[in-house]
Structure 1
């Protein structure tokens, strides 16, 4: 008779981490969107229709990529690595956006 040790993975142990990460990401994304159209129009001289198209594509990508993340998490990386990589990518994107807004030479002419 072999003795099995229970080492539960997931469930209520990881749920707060995932919910908090998703909540902070959504707050950051939706807080950024109203100002983003003005930034695209003034900083990159886009007309309103092009700016709205860019924002729509960005919104579509942020709503679709969790499916890709779920596949990567279940198949290859695991939940913590996938969440960490998603957080790092989102954080770096916001830092780059901040730098293009504050550093004049970071923008395209």
Structure 2
């Protein structure tokens, strides 16, 4: 359960950091948006080191599925656009894949 909390926290900070750059570049926001954006991206990277997974690549693969779900939550909560059924189906497939990678039995 701790891994899931860390993965979702990392996703929030990555999306927030990237959105800050998006805001500066695409929405004509102040370049000052880049400061909290950089801090959020640094926090995201640090958070991923806290998950209880032995290999970085496996942690990133699991995170990918969670990132997709968190991105759609951001779409709805921050950008006021409700995900459609295809968004939901795709994110469910990704979460299933992430769960297989996270909880699958490992030899050795």
Smaller-chain TM-score range?
0.3 to 0.5
When the two structures are superposed, what TM-score results if normalisation uses the length of structure 1? 0.34
Determine which structure has more spread, i.e. the larger CA radius of gyration: 1
When the two structures are superposed, what TM-score results if normalisation uses the length of structure 2? 0.35
- Larger relative contact order, structure 1 or 2 (CA cutoff 8 Å, min sep 6): 2
